[in-house]
Chain A
Amino acid sequence: MIKNNGNGEYRVLGTRPVRHDGADKVTGKAVYTADVQLPGMLRGFILRSPIAHGRIKSIDTSAAKTTPGVHAVITSADMPDVGDKVADLGEGAVNLKYLSGNVLAQDKVLYKGHAVAAVAAVDIHVAEEAAKKIVVEYEELPSVTWVLDAMQDDAPLLHEDLHTDSMGAKSENPSNICTHMHFEKGDIEDGFAQCDIVVEREFKTASVHQGYIEPHASVGDWNEDGRLRIWTATQGSFTARQQTAEVLQIPISDVVVTPCEIGGGFGGKIAVYLEPIVGMLSKLSGRPVKISMTRADVFEATGPTPGSYMKVKLGATSEGKLVAGEAWLAYDAGGYPGGMIGPGCMCVFSCYDIEHAVVDGYDVCVNKPNTQAYRAPGATQVAFATEQLVDEIAKQIGMCPLSIRQLNAAKEGTVRVDGPKYPPVGLVECLDALEDSDHWKSTLEGPLRGRGIAAGFWFGCGLKSCATVTVNHDGTVNLLEGSTDIGGSRTSLAMQLAEVLGITSDDVNPMVGDTDSVGYTDVTGGSRVTFATGLAAYTAGRDLQTQMISRAAEEVWDCSPDEVTLESDGRFTHNDESKTFKELAAQLFKHGEPLVARAAVSPENPTNGFGVHVADVEVDPETGKVTVLRYTTIQDAGKAVHPSYVEGQLQGGTVQGIGWALNEEYFYHDNDTVANASFLDYRMPTMLDLPMIDTIIVEAANPDHPYGVRGVGETPIVPPPAALANAIYNATGTRMEQLPMSPPVLWKQLQTESTEA
């Protein structure tokens, strides 16, 4: 008999133990991919396209190949032809032709920085010098980087065989528009007819990069037994394995991926770039090969998030009830199809109960690096639009921006524009917490100072996770799981296992396994790990307890299993006798089989993470600089397993959003090459740019997790640009329609408006 955990008071959850990998991380011992050293290891360098768009007419690698110290040189000619096959990578499907083409360009280069050849040599300097000797003849083609330009009929075509897909129907003519999506709810004409106020604006957002401090890195060792060993910086060792196997056209079982410690991902380290290259270089050279991208390569050749054009219209009654919404969204996909337009369409009105809506979304190829997921991919852009329109309506009818959101907030039963209804969600609770917060209640005084709020949403995935638990002599346990740990998740998982077993977090040794050691586990992304892999850890714990009940009945108390009770604190009792988990485990160790438990889960409900932010700013009209004076992030976590790391996700995502809002963008030269591929000119926030980021964690329990956990990682990046835009409006009266709201842009807009006034 198993008793439930009762009233939700926990011994371990909600505490703040030091993370298990902490000592390694603060002493420099933790091994990140670039730290890996193998005997005989070569270093690799990648030659990249200097132009934004062109046909590759020829590549002559002979001078490179004969350079002393060079062991292998490859181009796409050395890679197998993968054909036009779509592979399901767990978090989404990918056309292998595009994936392979992005790894090493085939007949065309589609952006400046597109990888064209790779050299493996005795050291990085020899490899780089040799790469410069490779002669590539290009036929340069006209290029396009603005999404609306790329949609025109006469735009330069990136893929001659790409036709627009409209849910299975293909356009007659080739196009840069990969996909058109369309959603409807209610009757839009009827809806707008009922509105007393309608606002409509056009918005543009620039490409921004995930900005992880660790550049991509991979080590490949094509072993003499035919197995390819890969060490890599990845958010998902299983997807890296599958992608690498598919691109190299070798059996998945011939590839083993060890996920090293990883220096940030945010969605940008899910697609493979280097793994197939180091694999092939290792195969040809007979030596292990390591490649670490340069920072410029990271900016020029790895996924930024889509830049966008958005036209959004919102209508309401004079009482502030939102009635109708219409959105026309064009997101750039970069060089290859497959951008984030789907989630953009689904999220544009996702925070509100709006009866009538129409959304059109376009995924468009442009000569920029291939877009990749970036923390709640596609949602930040649309929030920037919609949250400003909500504020604009509130202003016009004289309603408080918080009240209008409370009136219209999505809740259980609200139907989203793509169809599904929300289960119980926490947006109302977050708005109420905002209303109660010190920040909201405080007064902001001074000229050119303003306050803005915004709401945001991300789905939060389930997907697949496995866990294995083994028990030691002394009753401590080992937790083997497959979720690469980007932010301390191994400890949150250990805590959930500790909670269910009735032991401490320190009694659990969590370990992230490689693809040979642990069951298939989907990526660390999608805000899923604490939720889904946590569920796996919990379920494995329950499996362990079931085994122990049976063993205790047989070996300790000589009774039937239903005469053994598992108490809510993890003790096992029979009549008057009671044993803690550790006592019983140690006793069982003496006789019979060792204790091993396991779980494989695939929870399907999204965890639906809502958040609201409040920002206070001061604008300097002489420079256009926006200073963030105070910021509070409020989000529903369901249940905060380790509050410090939940706070950390809220703060980190918020600051990425602040950077996105105020400074970050890709600048282009006239020839469509990136002008600012360095941390100096791609201006991410430093600690001098920011105040403390206050956080309020709301806990509206998720019914689909035993501890109520909701995914939290992504939602924090969604509201900041909108909250800051609303604050800028409050401070200056100017409405910002483009991101970033950087000093020159804001300054010019203020100047223009004051001239006109």
Chain B
Amino acid sequence: MANKRHVSTTINGEPKEFLCAPHESLLEVLRDNLGLTGSKEGCNNGNCGACTVILNGRPVDSCLVLGVEVEGAEVETVEGIADRNELHPVQECFLEGAALQCGICTPGFLVASKALLEKNPDACEHTIRYNLAGNLCRCTGYDKIVRAVQDAGARMAESN
């Protein structure tokens, strides 16, 4: 019988503490312990990106991170992208550009796109495709996602 570990971390800028078993993934902790169900499970083995979160500034598949690994770390999830009631440019551009159909891959794409654009708001089409290749979408064919990310980059650059 495994003992649960106590973890202190920061999620979307807020301090959070939780208990988890050593074998529980960060994805499980977010969804089942903390009620943050925005990050999705598509494959549970790091191949689809639906569970993407930012861990200490890097986009990662949260299904490949253990809950205990985020002790003292900063985690950002899709729930933290909007600023209170105001959508972030990447969210606005996804909606205006119809860059989602079923929406299940959208949280992962938003997190990964935001991470990319914060480092590289002028990312060209190839750079976008390369950096987001780890996020699978089955509905859109990716065309509108790429365009939405380009638009978001432009919008973010404008407001800076």
A interface residues, Cβ below 8 angstroms from B: 16, 18-19, 21-23, 25-32, 34-35, 37, 123, 125, 210-215, 261-266, 292, 294-295, 486-488, 642, 644-645, 647-649, 651-656, 678-680, 684-688, 690, 692-693
Whether A26 lies near B47 (C-beta < 8 A) is no
B interface residues, Cβ below 8 angstroms from A: 21, 23, 31-32, 35-45, 47-48, 50, 77-79, 81-82, 87, 91, 94-98, 100-107, 110, 125, 128-130, 132-147
Whether A486 lies near B136 (C-beta < 8 A) is no
Q: Which chain B residues border A31 with CB–CB below 8 Å?
A: 37
Whether A35 lies near B146 (C-beta < 8 A) is no
Q: From residue A334, how far is it (CB to closest CB) to chain B in Å?
A: 21
| Cross-interface CB contact of A687 among B31, B37, B129, cutoff 8 Å | B129
| Cross-interface CB contact of A692 among B36, B79, B143, cutoff 8 Å | B143
State the CA gap A37–B144 with chains docked (Å). 32
A-B contact list, 19 entries, CB within 8 Å: A16-B98, A22-B95, A25-B106, A27-B38, A27-B81, A27-B82, A28-B36, A28-B38, A28-B77, A31-B37, A32-B104, A123-B32, A212-B138, A215-B41, A647-B143, A648-B98, A687-B133, A687-B135, A687-B146
State the CA gap A27–B111 with chains docked (Å). 10
Residue among A29, A213, A686 with most chain B CB within 10 A: A213
Q: Told that A18-B96, A687-B146, A690-B143 touch, could you supply 11 new A-B pairs with CB distance under 8 A?
A: A18-B95, A19-B98, A27-B38, A27-B78, A32-B40, A210-B138, A213-B50, A215-B42, A644-B144, A655-B141, A687-B133
Question: Looking across the interface, which residue of chain B has its beta carbon closest to that of A687?
Answer: B142
| Cross-interface CB contact of B102 among A22, A215, A487, A651, cutoff 8 Å | A487
Q: From residue B132, how far is it (CB to closest CB) to chain A in Å?
A: 6
Whether A295 lies near B40 (C-beta < 8 A) is no
Given A35-B37, A679-B43 in contact, is the A652-B103 Cβ separation under 8 Å? no
Residue among A28, A680, A685 with most chain B CB within 10 A: A28
State the CA gap A486–B94 with chains docked (Å). 17
Whether B136 lies near A686 (C-beta < 8 A) is yes
Q: From residue A84, how far is it (CB to closest CB) to chain B in Å?
A: 36
Question: Looking across the interface, which residue of chain A has its beta carbon closest to that of B93?
Answer: A26
| Cross-interface CB contact of A26 among B31, B40, B95, B133, cutoff 8 Å | B95
Question: Looking across the interface, which residue of chain A has its beta carbon closest to that of B146?
Answer: A687
8 tightest CB-CB pairs across the interface, nearest first?
A28-B38, A263-B104, A651-B141, A644-B98, A655-B141, A679-B47, A25-B103, A487-B101
Whether A212 lies near B44 (C-beta < 8 A) is no
Given A214-B42, A295-B43 in contact, is the A648-B79 Cβ separation under 8 Å? no
Q: From residue B90, how far is it (CB to closest CB) to chain A in Å?
A: 8
Q: From residue B152, how far is it (CB to closest CB) to chain A in Å?
A: 11
State the CA gap A642–B98 with chains docked (Å). 10
State the CA gap A686–B106 with chains docked (Å). 14
Q: Which chain A residues border B130 with CB–CB below 8 Å?
A: 688
Residue among B98, B103, B136, B140 with most chain A CB within 10 A: B103
Whether B136 lies near A679 (C-beta < 8 A) is yes
Whether B102 lies near A486 (C-beta < 8 A) is yes
Whether A652 lies near B141 (C-beta < 8 A) is yes
Question: Looking across the interface, which residue of chain B has its beta carbon closest to that of A646?
Answer: B98
State the CA gap A693–B146 with chains docked (Å). 11
Q: From residue B34, how far is it (CB to closest CB) to chain A in Å?
A: 11
State the CA gap A653–B138 with chains docked (Å). 9
Whether B102 lies near A125 (C-beta < 8 A) is no
State the CA gap A28–B48 with chains docked (Å). 17
Whether B133 lies near A686 (C-beta < 8 A) is yes
Given A213-B50, A487-B139, A692-B143 in contact, is the A645-B98 Cβ separation under 8 Å? yes
| Cross-interface CB contact of B38 among A16, A29, A651, A690, cutoff 8 Å | A29
Whether A678 lies near B37 (C-beta < 8 A) is no
Q: Which chain A residues border B36 with CB–CB below 8 Å?
A: 28
| Cross-interface CB contact of B145 among A28, A215, A687, cutoff 8 Å | A687
Whether A644 lies near B97 (C-beta < 8 A) is yes
Question: Looking across the interface, which residue of chain B has its beta carbon closest to that of A22?
Answer: B95
Q: Which chain A residues border B95 with CB–CB below 8 Å?
A: 18-19, 22-23, 26
Given A26-B87, A27-B82, A652-B141 in contact, is the A488-B40 Cβ separation under 8 Å? no
State the CA gap A64–B134 with chains docked (Å). 38
Residue among B32, B48, B135 with most chain A CB within 10 A: B48
